[in-house]
Structure 1
Amino acid sequence: MLRTPLSFPSPEVRTMSSAPPPGLDPERLRGFLDRERPGLVSGPLSARIIEGGRSNLTYVVTDGTGQWVVRRPPLGHVLATAHDMKREHRVISALHPTAVPVPEPLVLCQDEEVLGAPFYVMEFVAGTPYRTAEQLAPLGPERTRAAVLGLVDTLVDLHAVDPEAVGLGDFGRPDGFLDRQLRRWGKQLDASRSRDLPGIDELHAALGRELPRSPAPAVVHGDYRLDNALLDEDDRVGAVLDWEMSTLGDPLTDLGLLTMYSVPLDLPHSPVSTTAAVPGHPTPAELIERYAARSGRDTSAISWYTAFAWFKLAVILEGIHYRYTLGQTVGAGFDRIGDLVPVFIEHGLTTLQEG
């Protein structure tokens, strides 16, 4: 199962109810925490689930005094490699002592008898994930600009981490990273191919012909964008979230994805949220310049990485469209996903040609 790195506007947190949310039994969790972290919890736990289009499930739990966050795989049968709680827990544990802001991991549970699946508990970090232009716009141009540039600075901090020094030297396979990524998403396209998509095979082939030489490997987030971060009251990145796609690889793939999400799509009523058109939002060129200046990395091939991001998102959108045609999606907006795919393909081709 591939995670869908998209944000569909939705409420942040479901309203608290007397019944526990699916996938988390507060009493069983309390028993586990009392055994593994005695004194952490001082009363009965209640829980609510956080929304936001994530494939792994995220809950906020509280005893009325303190708050914590629980992460577990989706309900039902899942591929362990796609929802590896141990791996997610490992990367934030390694990064927590560094300059990269991540929640403090508290405990990992691999015993499926507790909640029906492996899970981990981490600290609750207060902050706002800005998912839509409507949410971000009230900050105003100056604060918006500072917040997004701060996101770039945090990305530089992440890519500056020495994987060996933090125990992540074996966290991935950097050699041949881009080639494997391109082949992986090509296979995913073939698995979702149900209609003619002019230009997508041309884009895939062109990306393969122009494969850049990767810089030194770094810890990459894999889905780095504004709504995978919490901004604090001063509009600074208080925590980077959702590390399920992280690995060791080419750091410019993170920058390419962030650049792609910073291109205004000008698609009214799009089910794919973006904040790029908000006044004050830095342009893609400004983000690239900021990253290059602060990291010292050569970003001359960034057009390839941005075009690859357009291709990857086109494939993901086509997969969603395909599942929609089979009646396998539930919710609003899925009927419009198919119309977005040609837009992403065109952006990918144009970006690669202009690079």
Structure 2
Amino acid sequence: MREFGYERVFDVSGAVALLGADPEARCLGGGTNLVDLMKSGVERPGRLVDVRELPLDRIEFIPGEGLRVGATVTNSDLAAHPEVRRRYPALAQAVLAGASGQLRNMATVGGNLLQRTRCGYFTDLAKPCNKRVPGSGCPAVQGEHHNHAVLGASAHCVATHPSDMAVALTALDAVVTYETLDGPGELPLTEFYLPVADTPHRETALPPGALITGVTVPDTPVAARSHYRKVRERASYAFAIGSVAAALDVRDGVVREVRLAFGAVASRPWRAREAERALSGGPADAGAFAAAADAELAAAEPLPHNGYKVPLMRNLVVATLTGLTEEAAR
């Protein structure tokens, strides 16, 4: 591990000053991802800025505005909050599905959003990786890729984004707030993660030196009728091989409003806009749900060993939306 400096900060302005002055600085929250990558040599920051003491650990719901979640809120506190469970069930379910209780107790909301990619080649310094060393190649294209992307990938990278929480937040139209030396800013989560294209090492649209301060989720009635469903290769805590976050408003058998996002199929949480358009105003039945999934997955470009994800996601969409429809009818 590279020798690094360490600074504990207690106010946002102090944190931003350190991050803005040192391009090799990284924020340290719970450390559940960053420290592992430092041990393996993938991450080599010159300085760690410990942000756990910042006053960003509040969760509050403001009627008519929505949910505000500070960046240092732990995943455990987020999933357990009564307003989150009542008004945004898909978010609570996604956080609970994401990791063990021990990890949730340490991991923070801001850190969860900044998780690095899930790919064995990325974490193996003996192998090339365009995310780690731009221009070195992507061995996953011809190698082990059974859990890699089928949507939005490129010849430069086929890895998937690991966060469950980010999938639910994407479906719920969440916005990331941040602070820089130039002042505050915000990014919708649908724009927060960059398309992989030919620059897979650039993962987010955050400006250099930015500090994530929180996430806001709009106060929309449809969010209370939401669900997160995850498929993994073992029943214990594991990364998804496919997941769906859905919110659905059905009245008299007709889809009045729908939100859909997919996980574990792309380098970022995938907002299923084509499926949403296909469903809006149409019947709420299994046939329509399957057709909408097919419309979204028509753009899929599976590799030789991950084509199973296409029917898997189709079935996940149908099962999740059918479950929500049945709940609405009770």
Using the size of structure 1 for normalisation, the TM-score is 0.27
Structure (1 or 2) with the greater strand fraction? 2
Structure (1 or 2) with the greater helix fraction? 1
Using the size of structure 2 for normalisation, the TM-score is 0.29
